[in-house]
Each structure stands twice: as structure tokens, then as C-alpha cells.
């Protein structure tokens, strides 16, 4: 039985899509209806399915053979039927994905990302110290828009003075207009913005990720041992720079937004930094920046008694799964003492977020450094602005009064 | 069924009877054992399912692949008895196995 735009048992028609800013601003009661009334949802207007329960999203992410990333992981990209350039491993299946990802999975590890703590802390200090005593902070403009890009730029070896320009170019390619599906620009993931650095680094090697990518030998999907081509390096750099920037920026925005609403717990965390990792996990659970991912269905599959045909697009609603009351009691509440079961903010399976350790370390240090200087704040809601971008969910501005 | 004991860093014990064939990581995640993340779902790529194998079991849980060896250098607080729990399969021979969880995965 189709559940699209027909009255669910709740009496009111259910409609969801990933690029409606009104839905995105406050999706959670709609997500609950989807979980309860349409756990397999079909959107007739745009022709896609969606799953919203934790168990279903987890199952779909784990089964990369039925639910493939090889046509992209964004709804509009899959529909556009683009050619995925080799090396764009986020949009590849095994064996190509396995070979490429192995090159970088040893870079973004728990140990190495924790080793960056000193530098990340220094970056935070340089962003936050000037704000002390002013009574104001904008979690995006003052920190979210600077820290992740700066750290990725540092990892990639991009000279400090150029990191802002590079970040802006990458961000522009991910932006969407309010209410519109993302327009797919083939060049947006071809590494535009990094060519000059790649060529310069070839001549001036250093101890950074770009140099490492240029020199590393790996076994490609055909079994051949070789180096990455220049085009593959460009794409790697672009994926890493793109993926690691807006998402972590959004996390910092949500730190500011969510903790404004829970002053008692915020003060508790300020007094006990051992609570910071749990706080970050709860913020990721409540408002994951990657709020949905899409998959291309490769074979007929049965979900909740219905057949989803091969060739369909399936959206995995991570932000809905993270608040599934079947897994989390009182799921809409931030609870730093929750001892939560693992969430899906970083995905699951072979495409689980490569940068999750970096995001966690950045998020924790950012929160710690914020609380050291500003244990109390209230978001200026009138002037806070959500981003219209549908690739991630979060804020363009989170201005706050610090007390 | 083989009985596996997971001891969290804070000392809390989970004694589980697990079906042969699943990995120690899967056993933990399926039974709400906190302290193992296993984000990559067992692909030996994220290094967030790190456990310490009790000394008397180290030589009985199977050899490490080259991939696992490389990733074990990347966990937090690596010790000689560190293993990635997604790479250890539950078998009848592991009945009585004890593993300890690290202070943190990341």
C-alpha cells in the first residue's frame, strides 16, 4: 500500500523531501510520523523511497550490495546519472572503493587525529580569545567557518594565507538554493581549486597529506601496484576538503544551538570536562549534519512487506533514525548522562565517515575551549539563520550573547 | 554457545553467550556493550573496535592480517595484546574468552 501523500492513520497526509527548508527547519515530528506510519515512505513527486527507523537505516547502510553508492549518495546526483570519476571513492563500490579508501584510512585514525589536539586547541584559542569580554559570539562566523577548514588545510599542506579562499570555493560547489534540488555541476568534484597546489607540491614536497598522496603506492582494483594519478589525487583532495569542512562547521553550529537550550547540563559539562565526549555524541545524535544519505537500489528488495524495485533511489534518514524511540527513550532530549547506544551520524559500514575521528576530536576541543571562556550563552534566535543547503543540515549564523 | 566476557574500562562486566560465526565486535554491538563503536561495520578500516585480549588468550584468537597489524598502530593506547574485535570470529574454541575495553576508542 503506497504511503505517499495519502492520509496516514494520523489523518494528515505525510510529505517529506530533502530540500524543503521548512521541513528541514523542524523535521522531527514529521520524522516520527514517518517512523510510525510510513516506515517505508514513497515520494511520488520526486520518485524516491525513504527509511526512517534506526534498524532499517542501519540495515540499508550495512548492505552495500543491495544499496549501492556507485551512482552517488545524494538523491539529485543519483537521478542525474553522472559519470563518477575514478578516485571519487565515496561514490564507488568495491573493489574500487576498497582500494582507494585503504590509501587514506590510515591517515584519519584515532591516534593521528588525537595527535592533532595541540594544534586544534591553538586554532580554537586564536579564534575565541578575541571574543572574550565582548559579550557576543557567532558560533559559525567565529569558529565553525574557520576551524574545520583550517585543520583540513593544515593536514593537506595548503599555505595558511590561502586556506580561506580554498574553503570558499569548495563550499560554493555544495550550496543549494532554498527549496530546490541541488543542481549538479560536474566540475564541482573534479578538484577545481586545488590544481595549482598539487603542481606546486610535486615540486616542493613536504610532510603533509598532499605530498603523501602524490607519493604513496597502492594496489588498485585491478591488482596493479602503482601511484595515484594526478587526477585521482585531485579528486581525493577535493573529497576530503569538501567532506570535512561543511559538516564539522555544522557540528560547531549545533553545539552552540543545542547547548543554549540546556543551561543546567551545559554548566555541568563546563565544570566537568570528562562529560565532553558524551556531549558531542549527544549533539551528533540529535542534529547530525549529514541528516540523510541516498543509495541506488541494485536489486528488488523487500522492506516492510513492500518490494522496492531495482533502479529505485532510497534515502536513509539518519536524523530520523537517531531519534527512533525504539532505540532511545525520550529521544528528543539532550541528555549528557544517557550512555547512548551508538548513533548513525557518521553512517555505518564500508562508507562510514572517514573523518569521524577528526570530527570528534575537533568537536570535543571546540566545546572545551568554548566552555573555558564562555560557560554561559544564549542564542540570539531572531538573528540565527539556517542554511538552505540540503547537502548538510545546519546553520549559516548562530549569534549568541555570552554572559 | 561460546561464552565471551567483555570488561568495560570502568570494570563493568558483560558475560555473553554468542553464536559462532559473528565477530567479537558484532557480539558487543548487538548486546549493548558500551565502549566499542565499530563504525565501519567490520571492514577493518576505522580502528574503533579496539580490545585488549586477556594474556592467556592472545595466542588462541587467531593471527592478525597485515591490514589489522597496520591499523593496530592507529588505535588509542595500543598495547601488545591489542586486537581489532571485528577481526576475531567467535568459535567454540573461544568459550571462556575475556577481553578488556580501552578507556576510549577515539
Q: A196-219: per-residue pLDDT in tens?
A: 788 888 888 888 898 899 999 999
When pLDDT is cut at 50, 70 and 90, the band that residue A334 belongs to is very high
Query: What is the rounded average pLDDT for all residues in chain A?
Result: 90
Nearest CA in chain B to A110: B106
Interchain pair A352, B47: CB under 8 A: no
Interface of B with A in 66-105 (CB under 8 A): 67, 70-71, 73-76, 78, 104-105
The pTM is what? 0.93
> Residue A286: what are its φ and ψ, rounded to 5°?
-70, -45
Among chain B residues, the shortest Cα distance to A339 is held by B34
Candidates B29, B43, B75; nearest CB to A111: B75
Structure confidence at residue A86 (pLDDT): 87
| Interface-testing mutation among A54, A111, A285, with chain B (most B C-beta atoms within 10 A) | A111
Residue A5: the pLDDT is 47
Single out the residue of A320, A324, A319, A315 nearest to residue A293, CA to CA.
A315
More confident residue, A243 or B62: B62
Q: What is the pLDDT of residue A87?
A: 87
Concatenated DSSP letters for B45-57? -S---EEEE-GGG
Instruction: State the pLDDT at residue A3.
Output: 45
pLDDT for position A10: 52
Overall size of chain B counted in residues: 106
Alpha-helical runs (H) found in A244-332: 246-260, 263-271, 276-286, 318-321
Distance from CA of A394 to the nearest CA of B (A): 23
A176 pLDDT band, cuts 50/70/90, is low
Fold type of domain A2-402: Cytochrome p450 (1.10.630)
Mean pLDDT of A364-376: 98
pLDDT of residue A193: 66
Q: What is the ipTM of this complex?
A: 0.94
Mutate to test the interface with A, among B12, B50, B74 (most CBs of A within 10 A): B74
Please name the residue of chain A whose CA is at the shortest distance from the CA of residue B67.
A102
For residue A54, is pLDDT > 50?
yes
| DSSP per residue, A28-46 | HHHHHHHHHH-SEEEETTT
H or E element at residue A293: strand A293-297
Amino acid at each position: 500500500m503506497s504511503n505517499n501523500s495519502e492520509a496516514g492513520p494520523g489523518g494528515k497526509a505525510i510529505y517529506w523531501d530533502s530540500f524543503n527548508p521548512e521541513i528541514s527547519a523542524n523535521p522531527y515530528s514529521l520524522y516520527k510520523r514517518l517512523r510510525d506510519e510510513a516506515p517505508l515512505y514513497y515520494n511520488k513527486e520526486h520518485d524516491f523511497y525513504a527509511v526512517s527507523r534506526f534498524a532499517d537505516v542501519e540495515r540499508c547502510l550495512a548492505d552495500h550490495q543491495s544499496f549501492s553508492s556507485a551512482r552517488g549518495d545524494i538523491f539529485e546526483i543519483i537521478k542525474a546519472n553522472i559519470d563518477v570519476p575514478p578516485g571519487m571513492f565515496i561514490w564507488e563500490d568495491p573493489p574500487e572503493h576498497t582500494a582507494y579508501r585503504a590509501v587514506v584510512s590510515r591517515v584519519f585514525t584515532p591516534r593521528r587525529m588525537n595527535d592533532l589536539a595541540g594544534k586544534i586547541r591553538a586554532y580554537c584559542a586564536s579564534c575565541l580569545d578575541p571574543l572574550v569580554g565582548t559579550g557576543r559570539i557567532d558560533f559559525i562566523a567565529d569558529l565553525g567557518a574557520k576551524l574545520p577548514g583550517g585543520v583540513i588545510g593544515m593536514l593537506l599542506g595548503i599555505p595558511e594565507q590561502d586556506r580561506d579562499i580554498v574553503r570558499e570555493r569548495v563550499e560554493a560547489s555544495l550550496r543549494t538554493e532554498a527549496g530546490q534540488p541541488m543542481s549538479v555541476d560536474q566540475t564541482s568534484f573534479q578538484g577545481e581549486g586545488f590544481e595549482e597546489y598539487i603542481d606546486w607540491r610535486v615540486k616542493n614536497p613536504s610532510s603533509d597529506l598532499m605530498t603523501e598522496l602524490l607519493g604513496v603506492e597502492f594496489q588498485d582494483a585491478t591488482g596493479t601496484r602503482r601511484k595515484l594519478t594526478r587526477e585521482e589525487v585531485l579528486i581525493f583532495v577535493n573529497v576530503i576538503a569538501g567532506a570535512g569542512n561543511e559538516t564539522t562547521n555544522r557540528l560547531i553550529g549545533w553545539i552552540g544551538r543545542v547547548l543554549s537550550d540546556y543551561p543546567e547540563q551545559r554548566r555541568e559539562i563546563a565544570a566537568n570536562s570528562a562529560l565532553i565526549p558524551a556531549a558531542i555524541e549527544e549533539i551528533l545524535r540529535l542534529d547530525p549534519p549529514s541528516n540523510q544519505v541516498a543509495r541506488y537500489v541494485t536489486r528488488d528488495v523487500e522492506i516492510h512487506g513492500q518490494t522496492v524495485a531495482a533502479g529505485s533511489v532510497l534515502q536513509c534518514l539518519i536524523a530520523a533514525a537517531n531519534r527512533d524511540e525504539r532505540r532511545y527513550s525520550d529521544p528528543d532530549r539532550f541528555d549528557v548522562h544517557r550512555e547512548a547506544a551508538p548513533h548513525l551520524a557518521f553512517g555505518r559500514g564500508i562508507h562510514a565517515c572517514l573523518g569521524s575521528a577528526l570530527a570528534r576530536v575537533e568537536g570535543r576541543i571546540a566545546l572545551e575551549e568554548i566552555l573555558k571562556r564562555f560557560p554561559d550563552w544564549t542564542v540570539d534566535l531572531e538573528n540565527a539563520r539556517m542554511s538552505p543547503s540540503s547537502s548538510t543540515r545546519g546553520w549559516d549564523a548562530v549569534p549568541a550573547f555570552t554572559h | 554457545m561460546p561464552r565471551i566476557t567483555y570488561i568495560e574500562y570502568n570494570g563493568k562486566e558483560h558475560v555473553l553467550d554468542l553464536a559462532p560465526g559473528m565477530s567479537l565486535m558484532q557480539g558487543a554491538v548487538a548486546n549493548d556493550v558500551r565502549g566499542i563503536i565499530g563504525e565501519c561495520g567490520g571492514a577493518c578500516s576505522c580502528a574503533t573496535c579496539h580490545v585488549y585480549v586477556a594474556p592467556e588468550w592472545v595466542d588462541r584468537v587467531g593471527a592478525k592480517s597485515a591490514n589489522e597489524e597496520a591499523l593496530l598502530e592507529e588505535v588509542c593506547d595500543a598495547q601488545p595484546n591489542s586486537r581489532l574485535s571485528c577481526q576475531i570470529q567467535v568459535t567454540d574454541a573461544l568459550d571462556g574468552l575475556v577481553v578488556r575495553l580501552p578507556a576510549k576508542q577515539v
